[in-house]
Amino acid sequence: MSNETSATTARRGQAPRGERVADWADGRLGIYSLAKSNMRKIFPDHWSFMLGEICLYSFIIIILTGVYLTLFFHPSMAEVTYHGSYVPMHGIRMTQAFESTLDISFDVRGGLLIRQIHHWSALIFLAGMMVHMMRVFFTGAFRKPREVNWLFGFLLLVLGMFTGFTGYSLPDDLLSGTGVRFIEGVILAMPLVGSYLQMFIFGGEFPGHDIIPRFFTVHVLLLPGIMLGLLVAHLILVFYHKHTQFPGAGKTNKNVVGMPLLPVYMAKAGGFFFLVFGVISVIAAVASINPVWAIGPYRPDQVSTGAQPDWYMGFAEGLVRVMPGWEWNFWGHTINFGVLIPILVFPLVLVAIAVYPFVESWVRGDKREHHILDRPRNVPTRTGFGVAWLIAYFVMLIGGGNDLWATHFHLSINSITWFVRIAFFVGPVLGFIATKRICMGLQRRDRDKVLHGRESGIIKRLPHGEFVEIHEPLDQEQLHVLTQHEQPTPLELGPEVDENGVERKVSRSKKLRAKLSKSYYGEDNVIPKPTAEEFKEITSGHGHH
Amino acid sequence: MSETGRHADVPEETLPSERHDAHGDAVAKGENPFADPGLPAHEHRVQDIDEKAARRSERVVAYLFLLSMLATVAFIASYVIFPIDKIVFIWPIGHISALNFSLGLTLGVALFCIGAGAVHWARTLMSDEEIADDRHPIEAEPEVKAKVLADFAQGAKESGFGRRKLIRNTMFGALALVPLSGVVLLRDLGPLPEKKLRTTGWKKGIRLVNQSTNLPLRPEDIAVGSLTFAKPEGLEEDSEDFNENIAKDALMLVRIQPQNIKDKQELAWSHEGIVAYSKICTHVGCPISLYEQQTHHVLCPCHQSTFDLSDGGRVIFGPAGHALPQLHITVKDGFLEAARDFAEPVGPSFWERG
């Protein structure tokens, strides 16, 4: 009965049309409950929170343009003789993959633009992920409850690298084919299974006729499929955990301060997608990327100089280039350490940063949730480790382009290689020490600012002739921001003997933890922040300057 | 205190003790000079109080959206107007495709203006009042946890999983075995290596053919100081497996004064100072292409492995692990030919190489 009534009122058009559609959907999908907690979801505002957005949007752009490219690309290694619009390549033998890439560039109107948007977005996607990861790292946003989301993000970065690699290999041009040959050499270097893996992956001897179609499947289906799943999970967790925020007035560990999804972030984030897409389109309009027509089709006996992978593979390339050519022969077998070690170090370096959140929470014994971001200076050991990691990464990036460094700066390639070999080990250590010192200096400055105020730059002359600079006291928000961080005491192992004089057994892992804990909170690693007493003492009216 | 999670199961000593109350709620200012002052009062923007300014912002947003529409029209017009092969000079970029440039620029403007309009709208006209929302601990309440554990225990008990070990063990066995079918199916991805990596297309009596002229090479074709690339006779570019063969057979020839050849075997395998080496780098298989005439060094442009062709192809720099393989050559009827296949596998090393 009542059902009938409500149906009649609806028919009379009393509920607006949009509401009726929403009602229909709610009855089937439960959208009202979903929207209740999410429609006005609060997001804090900070420029660095946009870095992840750049990654999301460039990923969407990659998918959109990628689908378009599949409409024209032929992932085939069948050999053809070129007779298309690009005259300089006439009569040259190439695979259909290369031919269709030329067609996309020269015969499909707008095809070149979409190709260039696709490639540029991929570079920006990976650069964005890298910078986003660094933001999360240096501000400690990976702490509980976000460790799993950190791992999702890390996996996206790693998968993104391999999706990028398989993608730029598809045109089967001379440069990318050289990269595929490199992969073949790496596979062959695997002890025991290398030559079998090589035969299975390439469908026979290099290059065979299978690797491009196989890369195609991996590039357009397998990896993006996994990445899409991870990305959705990553975003769901961001919503579920609610975004972290920097310390500030009114911002606590128990609230989230910002503006609502509807309408502000809908407009800002939605708008930002178009800004990113627009900027990448303009880049693709004016800056050529991967001009395969200038490189030519792949042939295993030809090569160009200055062969470089895309930037995100430069780190691995550097490891391979600077590794000494060690090779062991024994009992009729060969271990090619010159290739094997770099290929093992590569994932190890990546894993080192991936597992860092778990190491830190173990050292700190901290099981609480953290939603207020750290200022990097207040955690010198973590910041130092991050800088050390980045130095190792960038040193290897130099190694990966050692030939370009040599030709552009007129340096000896041998000395660049030796520099990289040494700097890979020494640089991170120096960087760690220097960063820690800088962090301590900044902590000291924060302390001075809290106690003595901000240097105003105004010089005052006192009646007796002395010049002083006027220090302005900080406002309440700044006082709070500069003092809100924790300064725990390091883990103590306790006395070596118990009350009966018997030696206490302290496990080795505990000793290690105590040592590491000291490097986080020990006296030499922390500038004690001002106490309320110190502050009152100084600001209680005695002339201070 | 600042704990949002519980840590009843963590021994006290492992928790860092705190010197100060961190990110706690605002405390009365009198006791704590560093207390959180709380959310600042909202400051009005000019658009909030001046309707004229608000209307100006509205117009700016509308202009941006309008500009986007115009850009889309221009995009379609460019698509129609510019032939795909038209090249124009655009300062300071240089000669570029008119179509790519105009399409990219108009698409970029069309997209960017939508974004700029939306962001300007959000920043100037939508409420910019900051709102604080509460967070709730991620961890479940103890009652919820207890209920879930009890439910699980009951479900597990009802299944008899722990009690009926025979079922459990055979099920694990079946589940462990069944993926093997998938692994077996991968077998036909490729052939077994067998001796494929050890042999090349060279054997006794095969002539050396110049890569660029496609003619058999005579000793007098190899000049001092030049680098000549060769392939085996009978390997044609249009043959089905050309790439697989050339990936192993590619050869480079140089002429060195016999007295300058330091390696005895190299001298024996040469002809009048002409030496033939595999062009495929022993590091990861790039073709070597840079030759230094004076020193007879060759450099691989991929990873800069450097080999000395006057000393048995020895590695003198870079990541390569062993010398370049040399091909034993002779002369018959005035033409260069191979005396045998390479004595060792060419290209990157592998486990069975030995």
Q: Which residues pair with A297 in a beta bridge?
A: A173
- How distant is the Cα of A27 from the closest Cα of chain B, in angstroms? 28
Provide the pLDDT for residue A11: 56
Mutation test of the interface with chain A: which of B93, B128, B135, choosing the one with the most A Cβ atoms within 10 A?
A: B135
The phi-psi region of residue A444 (left if phi > 0; otherwise alpha if psi is between -120 and 50; otherwise beta) is alpha
Q: How many residues does chain A have?
A: 545
Of B97, B288, B321, which is closest to A326 when you measure between CB atoms? B321
Region A103-126: mean pLDDT is 97
Q: What is the secondary structure of A369-416 as a DSSP string?
A: ---BPPPGGGSHHHHHHHHHHHHHHHHHHHHHTHHHHHHHHT--HHHH
Provide the pLDDT for residue B21: 41
Provide the pLDDT for residue A511: 87
Residue A492 included in any domain: no
Q: Is B303 on the interface with A (CB under 8 A)?
A: yes
Residues A95 and A158 in one domain: yes
Q: Which residues pair with B276 in a beta bridge?
A: B253, B327
Q: How far is residue A527 CA from its own chain's centroid?
A: 30
Q: Is B40 on the interface with A (CB under 8 A)?
A: yes
Provide the pLDDT for residue A541: 62
Q: Are B115 and B107 in contact (CB under 8 A)?
A: no
Provide the pLDDT for residue A249: 93
Residue A368 included in any domain: no
Contacts of A197 (CB under 8 A, 6+ apart): A187, A190
Burial A30-59 (b: 16+ CB within 10 A, else e): eeeeeeeeeeebbbbbbebbbbbbbbbbbb
Q: B301 to chain A: which residues are within 8 Å by CB?
A: 303-307, 403
Interchain proximity B190–A200, CB inside 8 Å: yes
**Helices and strands in chain B: count of H runs, count of E runs:** 8, 14
A-B interface: how many C-beta pairs under 8 angstroms?
A: 415
Provide the pLDDT for residue A542: 54
In this predicted model, what pLDDT tens digit does every residue of A496-538 receive, in sequence order? 777 777 877 788 888 888 888 888 888 888 899 998 888 888 8
A445: how many CB neighbours lie within 10 A of its CB?
Answer: 13
Mutation test of the interface with chain B: which of A186, A188, A477, A492, choosing the one with the most B Cβ atoms within 10 A?
A: A188
Q: Is A282 on the interface with B (CB under 8 A)?
A: yes
Region B345-352: mean pLDDT is 94
- What is d(CA B328, CA B270) in angstroms, rounded to the nearest whole number? 7
In chain B, residues 43-72 whose CB comes closer than 8 Å to chain A: none
Region B83-89: mean pLDDT is 94
C-alpha dihedral, A271 to A273 to A274 to A280, nearest 10° = 150
Q: How far is residue A246 CA from its own chain's centroid?
A: 20
Q: B32 to chain A: which residues are within 8 Å by CB?
A: 532
Q: A285 to chain B: which residues are within 8 Å by CB?
A: 100-105, 107-108
Q: A367 to chain B: which residues are within 8 Å by CB?
A: 5, 7, 10, 15
Of B79, B189, B319, which is closest to A110 when you measure between CB atoms? B79
In this predicted model, what pLDDT tens digit does every residue of A398-437 receive, in sequence order? 999 999 999 999 999 889 999 999 999 999 999 999 999 9
Residues A129 and A205 in one domain: yes
Region A4-8: mean pLDDT is 49
Which of A298-307, A536-545, B321-330 is the most confident on average? Answer: B321-330
Residues A14 and A51 in one domain: no
Region A55-82: mean pLDDT is 97
Q: Is A277 on the interface with B (CB under 8 A)?
A: yes
Q: Is A511 on the interface with B (CB under 8 A)?
A: no
Mutation test of the interface with chain A: which of B9, B20, B134, B290, choosing the one with the most A Cβ atoms within 10 A?
A: B20
pLDDT band at A133 (very low <50, low <70, confident <90, very high): very high
In chain A, residues 1-40 whose CB comes closer than 8 Å to chain B: none
- What is d(CA A194, CA B350) in angstroms, rounded to the nearest whole number? 6
Q: Are A261 and A41 in contact (CB under 8 A)?
A: yes
**Is it the case that residue A87 has pLDDT exceeding 90?**
yes
* Dihedrals phi, psi of B253, to nearest 5 degrees: -120, 135
Provide the pLDDT for residue A474: 92
Q: Is A291 on the interface with B (CB under 8 A)?
A: no
Q: Is A367 on the interface with B (CB under 8 A)?
A: yes
pTM (two decimals): 0.91
Provide the pLDDT for residue B9: 45
In this predicted model, what pLDDT tens digit does every residue of A20-42 receive, in sequence order? 999 999 999 999 999 998 999 99
**Is B173 exposed, middle or buried, given 0-12, 13-18 or 19+ CB atoms closer than 10 A?**
exposed
**Is it the case that residue A543 has pLDDT exceeding 90?**
no
pLDDT band at B8 (very low <50, low <70, confident <90, very high): very low
Q: How far is residue A536 CA from its own chain's centroid?
A: 44
- What is d(CA A380, CA A138) in angstroms, rounded to the nearest whole number? 10
Q: Is B116 on the interface with A (CB under 8 A)?
A: yes
Q: Are B226 and B211 in contact (CB under 8 A)?
A: no
Q: What's the mean pLDDT when you consider all of chain A?
A: 92
Residues A107 and A198 in one domain: yes
Q: Are A192 and B352 in contact (CB under 8 A)?
A: no
Give the pair of three-digit tokens for residue A56. 């999301």
Single out the residue of B23, B32, B128 nearest to residue A251, CA to CA: B23
Residue A253 included in any domain: no
Q: Are A320 and A342 in contact (CB under 8 A)?
A: yes
Give the pair of three-digit tokens for residue B320. 């390569």
In chain A, the number of structural domains is 3
Q: For residues B8 and A526, which has the higher predicted lDDT (pLDDT)? A: A526
Residue A347 included in any domain: no
Residue A237 included in any domain: yes
Residues A27 and A144 in one domain: no
SS3 for B223?
coil
Residues A227 and A273 in one domain: yes
Which of A273-282, A306-315, B129-138, B265-274 is the most confident on average? Answer: A273-282
In this predicted model, what pLDDT tens digit does every residue of B53-78 receive, in sequence order? 999 999 999 999 999 999 999 999 99
Q: Is A339 on the interface with B (CB under 8 A)?
A: yes
Contacts of A76 (CB under 8 A, 6+ apart): A95, A96, A97, A212, A213
**Is it the case that residue B41 has pLDDT exceeding 80?**
yes
Q: Which residues pair with A469 in a beta bridge?
A: A459
Provide the pLDDT for residue B224: 87
Q: Give the CB-side neighbour count of residue B336, counting CA atoms within 13 A.
A: 33
SS3 for A489?
coil
Interchain proximity B348–A144, CB inside 8 Å: no
Q: What is the ipTM of this complex?
A: 0.91
End-to-end CA separation in angstroms for chain B: 66
Q: Are A187 and A198 in contact (CB under 8 A)?
A: yes
Residues A28 and A80 in one domain: no
Provide the pLDDT for residue A70: 97
Provide the pLDDT for residue A12: 58
Give the pair of three-digit tokens for residue A429. 């250590």
Residue bearing tokens 């007129």: A410
Residue A336 included in any domain: no
CATH number for the domain including A212?
A: 1.20.810.10
Q: Are A169 and A288 in contact (CB under 8 A)?
A: no
Single out the residue of B232, B224, B166 nearest to residue B205, CA to CA: B232
Q: Is B285 on the interface with A (CB under 8 A)?
A: yes
- What is d(CA B305, CA B287) in angstroms, rounded to the nearest whole number? 11
Task: Report the percent of chain A where pLDDT is more than 90.
Answer: 81
Provide the pLDDT for residue B206: 94
Instruction: Give me the residue spans of the domains in chain B.
Output: 46-124, 208-338
Provide the pLDDT for residue A500: 78
Q: Is B235 on the interface with A (CB under 8 A)?
A: no
In terms of CA atoms, which chain B residue is nearest residue A107? B84
In chain A, residues 199-218 whose CB comes closer than 8 Å to chain B: 199-208, 210
The letter for the amino acid at A186 is: V
Interchain proximity B121–A413, CB inside 8 Å: no
The letter for the amino acid at B338 is: A
Range of the domain at A241: 46-245+263-312
Provide the pLDDT for residue A519: 85
- Domain with residues B208-338, CATH architecture: 3-layer Sandwich (2.102)
In chain B, residues 139-158 whose CB comes closer than 8 Å to chain A: none
* Dihedrals phi, psi of A395, to nearest 5 degrees: -60, -40
Task: Report the percent of chain A where pLDDT is more than 70.
Answer: 97
